[in-house]
Structure 1
Amino acid sequence: MTRPGLLAAAALAVLPAIAVAGELELLMFEQPGCIYCAAWNAEVAPEYPLTAEGKAAPLRRLQLRDPLPEGLELVAPPVFTPTFVLAEGGVEAGRIEGYPGEDFFWPMLALLIGKAERN
């Protein structure tokens, strides 16, 4: 099933129209050879910046083994790739560990963004 799919359509109902630019960002922790990162790159990455989620939380890619950027506060260091961390003002607001496929990724992300926007 392609985006938005049935689950994503339901989850998008809780997503605010557009977040204020710069407040949220989606960090993707990846590493070379990660087959799940490659699947996300093929299935989601091309359309991500065009979606409501991509506009609300622009993507920033980080390598799993690199030091964290200065000013970024995570609940715990990422262990698996890909790990998607929703950051609000540089502070972790939620995460998705692994890539469950696009049918599950979109609604999971929409729920994280919706929760962050309500707080």
Structure 2
Amino acid sequence: MVEQPGCVYCGMWNEVIAPIYPKTPEGQFAPLIRADLRAGPPEGISFARKVTYTPTFILIADGQEQARIEGYPGEDFFWGLLDMILQEHTEFTFPAS
């Protein structure tokens, strides 16, 4: 997650999603790493292109960007978009109910 101080949408995500994210199958499969917009990518990680908007959620595999979600579209849309990029770019499968 690329974020910056004062980002209202980052704050919304942190309030609504952050507390539950690590407890979800998605969060366990793709643990969150936070990066500051002005600091650039964390060491060992490469973004495919410059990050302009915060929050931006970047799916990383082997240090390389696979896909991204730019902005926080609200709780319902976030989970749908996350599930879509996980299914398209990884071996993620939902646990059996």
TM-score (norm 1): 0.73
Identity %: 51
> 1 or 2 for the larger relative contact order (CA 8 Å, sep ≥6)?
1
Alignment correspondent of 1:65: 38
Report the alpha carbon displacement of residue 98 of structure 1 after superposing the two structures with TM: 0.3
Superposed CA offset, 1:10-61 (max 9, x none): xxxxxxxxxxxxxxxxxx0001100000000011000000001001100001
Residue 54 of structure 2 corresponds to residue 46 of structure 1 = no
Does the CA-based 8 Å contact 2:53-2:71 persist in structure 1?
Answer: yes
Alignment correspondent of 1:83: 56
Alignment correspondent of 1:110: 83
TM-score (norm 2): 0.89
Give the CA RMSD over aligned residues.
1.0
In structure 1, runs of 5+ residues without a counterpart are: 1-27
